[in-house]
Chains A and B, each alone.
Chain A
């Protein structure tokens, strides 16, 4: 069974631009979560989608948004990029999210210049 895939793997943007990251979950998984990983803050939860609905949201500004499609694939969008948005963005999928054993993708390394 294929694992969680994320595209692109690396991205370089400049301040003020916007970016869209993509995540394909493990087949059959309906819950997709997004995390921001930085050396100082560790993993911080962005949001979780289940059956195309945002079910949970972390404490990030409205510049961070996401969506989930009917095939469970998910996208995350960051508008008006700031230098502090440079991070590794991880996507994780799970069957229902209830017992929440999450399977992580390799991440997208975003650098904002």
Chain B
């Protein structure tokens, strides 16, 4: 069974700081990878996804993530965060051919203006 680990449970940054949220998964086969974001009071929504191809994936709102297969990692990055990025971030993984993603426990990001 696959599992997903998000190392940072709570992150507090000031505006304009750079962000990197870690995500590691355990599964030996081919995977699809996702980052979801849940803004306060809003639906969980897709930030970006990786299925195949270029391991550097660009998402919405200036976010990007890099898939490093050898490290089983899919870290989320943003060069300069804004107060509006305050949210809960979830990494998710599903094995190719599986219909169900496994989610990490989430990282709460607070950005101070």
Contacts and interface: CB of A to CB of B under 8 A. Distances in A.
B22 interface: no
Contacts of B51: 99
Interface in B8-64: 32, 34, 36, 42-46, 49, 51
A33 B90 contact: no
Contacts of A105: 43
A48 B105 CA distance: 20
Interface string A26-50: 0000010101000001111100101
Given A42-B104, A99-B51, A3 B99 contact: no
B43 A3 contact: yes
A102 B101 contact: yes
Contacts of B102: 45
A31 B46 contact: no
A90 B44 contact: yes
Contact of B90 (A31, A42, A56, A106): A42
B103 interface: yes
A100 B90 contact: no
Given A100-B94, A104-B44, A43 B103 contact: yes
Interface of A: 3-4, 31, 33, 35, 41-45, 48, 50, 55-56, 58, 90, 92, 97-107
11 contacts: A35-B103, A42-B104, A45-B100, A50-B99, A90-B44, A98-B99, A100-B99, A101-B34, A101-B49, A104-B44, A104-B45
Given A50-B99, A98-B99, 4 more contacts: A42-B106, A43-B90, A100-B94, A100-B101
Q: Please list the 9 inter-chain residue pairs (A to B) with the smallest Cβ-Cβ separation, ordered nearest first.
A: A42-B105, A97-B99, A43-B103, A104-B44, A56-B100, A42-B106, A104-B43, A106-B43, A45-B100
